[in-house]
Amino acid sequence: MATSITVKLPNGVEYEQPTGLFINNEFVPSAKGETIKVVNPSTEEELAQVHAADASDIDKAVKAARTAFNTVWKNYSVDEISRLLYKLADLFERDLELLSAIEAADSGKPKAQNAAGDVEGAIQLFRYFAGWADKRSGTICENDKNTLAYVVHEPHGVCGQIIPWNYPIGMASWKIGPAIAAGNVIVLKLAENTPLSMLYVGKLIAEAGFPPGVINIVNGYGSVAGSALCTHPDVDKIAFTGSTATGKLIMKMCADTLKNITLECGGKSPLLVFDDCNFEEAVKWAHIGIMSNMGQICSATSRIYVQDTIYDKFVEALKEHTIKTSKVGDVFDDSVFQGPQVSALQQKRVLSYIEKGKSEGARVVLGGNAITGKGYFIEPTIFADVDDSMTVMREEIFGPVVCISKFKTEEEAITRANDTTYGLGSAVFSENNSRCLRVARAIRAGSVWVNCDNTASPRVPFGGFGMSGIGTELGTYGLDIYSVKKAITVNIGVKL
């Protein structure tokens, strides 16, 4: 099969889509000619067939990365690395329209209201980490007078990176930016059903001037290509974003070769609305916190706890605001807020949770059904009076479905917010600053948003407690996970 095809997007734009495995700056076919069908979730039509890597393809990509690391890459200065990341950001900016359109068609993100923001976020992120590439520094340790001890930050080497389908460009940029800034080389495995935008980015990586083998991008099934990357003896680190179930598997697979790991997994994040909040703001942010990206956000605030004094008013206001704001439909219509779920499987999974919520007695305030016709669309759904023991309140649904419940006291709200095995995101709404600061400290979550929800910035770290994962991405902490701290002790005075 060819390694590129002409694709015509639903907005009429035609472009050359790479479909091969991006290894050594070239698109090559998979060894056995295996392919994966990529479907437009809005229309259920095929967009492309892309090559699927097996273990031998992964080995080829790892060898390319290792060779680059041991030869050309180690001679690159920090200025040159920085310039490459800036250049990549510039190319993303040049191709913003096309990248957003590919992302919209492939993953069902409304182009204007969602996909474009992901591309802009990646541009900002590459520039942020480009800025760090030439500012990395270790430390000098105060030791004894006879030694000079200092610490240098060495790259791990070959980083295997595995990303999910909910933010193909977003999650890839979170992985590529800091890893490259810290001097590593990469084999990035895409989520099998949303590979198109990042395969296109392969072209931009070559155009930016990255040496062959520094960034390799492969598509393939998790159980085949993903596991081959995790078990490969010459991969030094695995950085994974995806479900908690897969995160557990990856941790086990990495154990044999004792790989350094970062796991960004799932969540069931709480949002607390106190009666002293700015009510309109709380309603608007609550909507963004769960309904953005079709609810397919790991840190989506999917459990809303509202103080009893404003509970009924809040439920009604969130319903009205959602009806007004969550326009569902054509992802190429600029006024559309919500597209389809990413796949038939995800649509089925979310609908089965909705049915479970209904059967367990949660009150449907809004939605609760699939939208008939082509595409994997689901109505934005609000459940109220949800009991903490119900499945919909405990498990990650990963769809436009929110559960609301009422509380009386601050202490109760905190206890119930923390009643989860996850600990990724959270939000607090109150105009009482002392309360906000108190609650923010008491919530066991990697991110607490106060009077806002799910804001993201490359400068602000992101990670979680418990089943939400291991390690922190973004910010200086996110740079830190991509290096090993090497201590060098020099004898400057002791004679034996």
Closer Cβ to ligand NAD, 150 or 477, answer by number: 477
Q: Taking CB under 6 A as the criterion, which residues in 447-476 touch ligand NAD?
A: 469
Residue whose pair of structure tokens reads 């900002």 in the numeric block: 124
Q: Which of positions 4-63 make contact with ligand NAD (CB under 6 A)? A: none
Among 23, 47, 162, 397, binds ligand NAD (CB under 6 A): 162
Of 37-45, 264-272, 285-293, 426-434, the segment contacting ligand NAD by CB under 6 A is 264-272
Write down the least CB distance from residue 226 to ligand NAD, Å: 2
- Interface stretch with ligand NAD, choices 32-40, 64-72, 150-158, 166-174 (CB under 6 A): 166-174
The residue (of 24 and 346) whose beta carbon lies closer to ligand NAD is 346
Site for ligand NAD in 298-317 (CB under 6 A): 298
If DSSP codes are grouped into helix, strand and coil, which group holds residue 85?
helix
Positions 218 through 237 that interact with ligand NAD (CB under 6 A): 222-223, 226-227, 230
| Token pair in block for residue 220 | 């393939």
Selected from 40, 161, 184, 241, the binder of ligand NAD by CB under 6 A is 241
Residues near ligand NAD (CB under 6 A), total = 30
Residues 178-217 that bind ligand NAD (CB under 6 A): 189, 191-192
Q: How far is Cα 298 from Cα 446, in angstroms, rounded to an integer?
A: 12
Contact 180, 133 (CB under 8 A): yes
Question: At which residue do the structure tokens 């400290």 appear?
Answer: 441
Catalytic positions are: 264
Binder among 158, 218, 249, 310 for ligand NAD (CB under 6 A): 249
Residue 396 binds ligand NAD, judged by CB under 6 A: yes
Measure the N-to-C terminal CA separation of the chain; round to a whole number of Å.
68
Other C-beta atoms lying within 10 Å of the C-beta of residue 100? 23
Can you give the C-alpha Rg of the chain in angstroms? Answer: 23
Rounded Cα gap, residues 309 and 315, in angstroms: 12
The CA distance from 113 to 122, in Å, is 15
DSSP per residue, 422-484: --S--EEE-S-HHHHHHHHHHS-SS--EESS-S---TTS-EE-SGGGEESEESHHHHHHTTEE
Task: Build a one-symbol-per-residue string for 76-95: x at contacts with ligand NAD by CB under 6 A, - elsewhere.
Answer: --------------------
DSSP lists the bridge partners of residue 378 as 370
Nearest CA among 280, 235, 277 for reference residue 254:
235
264 binds ligand NAD, rule: CB under 6 A: yes
Chain positions contacting ligand NAD, by CB under 6 A = 162-167, 171, 189, 191-192, 222-223, 226-227, 230, 241-243, 246, 249-250, 264-267, 298, 396, 398, 424, 469
